[in-house]
Amino acid sequence: MRSKILMFLCCVISVITMSTYVGAAKEDVNFDTPICLTVNNAYLKMDSEPFLFDGLTFVPIRFVSEALGAEVNWNAEKRSAIIENSETNIELTAGKKYAYVNGKKVPVGHSVKLVNDRTYVPVRFVSESLGCDVGWDSTSYTVEIYKDGAVVNQNLIGKRGYSDDEIYWLSKIIHAESKGEPMEGKIAVGNVVLNRVKSKMFPNTIYGVIFDRNHGTQFSPVLDGSIYQTPLGDSIVAAKRALRGESKVSGSLYFLNPRIATSSWIVKNRVFHKTIANHDFYL
């Protein structure tokens, strides 16, 4: 049990161009869970998406290493990633569940991986070996790395495009409205809220849309209090995917569950678009 907990806590990191990397099997991973990465609260822009694999989070290393003042190189002969600064040398080899830190062999929670011609290696291990603290924000799916005195180069800093507050409230309404729905349906609920934010007919913030009472309470979870429940991880993922621009229901502004709906206004006044699981969506 202890080892499983440690493995779950072990976030991971890395990315190195692998044009000379021959002989390593490519691994199938799922990029559907949006994960952000910060160093001293600065969001890093990356050319390769982080991903979850076997309960671990894998994120790019080159950007983190440079943000922390370290260099990354690839040893083609050994098939090893070399990360080093003035005090620390870390060598991680593809397929090996151990690494060398300043020449000392130490265990690693998971082996180096090759995905889309990039090498991914464990972040908590690498970051802590470089003198950093690593945290995980489960409310926004963000890997947070801290190191005293580290100043991130402006060229490495990016903009996420949405705030923690927007993730917070969008994930709450998704959770309250679509418990038990598939991911497509959860994203679609998020799409409706965001479409309303863009529409002149509704308030221009997620919070404003959720609690809009201009034409009566818009969402039943506001009335019954379920809007204040803590959202599960799939609702947070759905919120981030919607915020990143993924759309399942085009410009739909309304949805309802026809089995339990108490009003027929939407059906009579709006144009039906599509059905996803238990919800019908209308333009």
80 with 101, same domain: the answer is yes
Residue type, 203: P
Please say whether the beta carbons of 118 and 17 come within 8 A: yes
146 with 181, same domain: the answer is no
| Boundary-marking domain end, from 125, 156, 187 | 156
| Boundary-marking domain end, from 104, 122, 156 | 156
* pLDDT at site 230: 95
106 with 138, same domain: the answer is yes
Q: Give 7's contacts (C-beta < 8 A, 6+ positions apart).
A: 54, 55, 56, 109, 110
Question: Which of 46-55, 207-216, 253-262, 270-279 has the least mean pLDDT?
Answer: 46-55
Measuring CA to CA, which residue among 150, 158, 176 is closest to residue 46? 158
* pLDDT at site 112: 73
Range of the structural domain that residue 28 is part of: 2-156
Report the mean per-residue pLDDT for the chain: 85
Letter string b/e over residues 90-111, b meaning 16 or more CB atoms within 10 A of that residue's CB: bbbbbeeeebbbeeeeeebbbb
* Each residue's pLDDT tens digit, 174-213: 999 999 999 999 999 999 999 999 999 999 999 999 999 9
* pLDDT at site 17: 33
Q: What is the CATH number of the domain that holds 112?
A: 3.30.457.10
59 with 174, same domain: the answer is no
The count of domains in the chain is: 2
Region 224-233 average pLDDT: 95
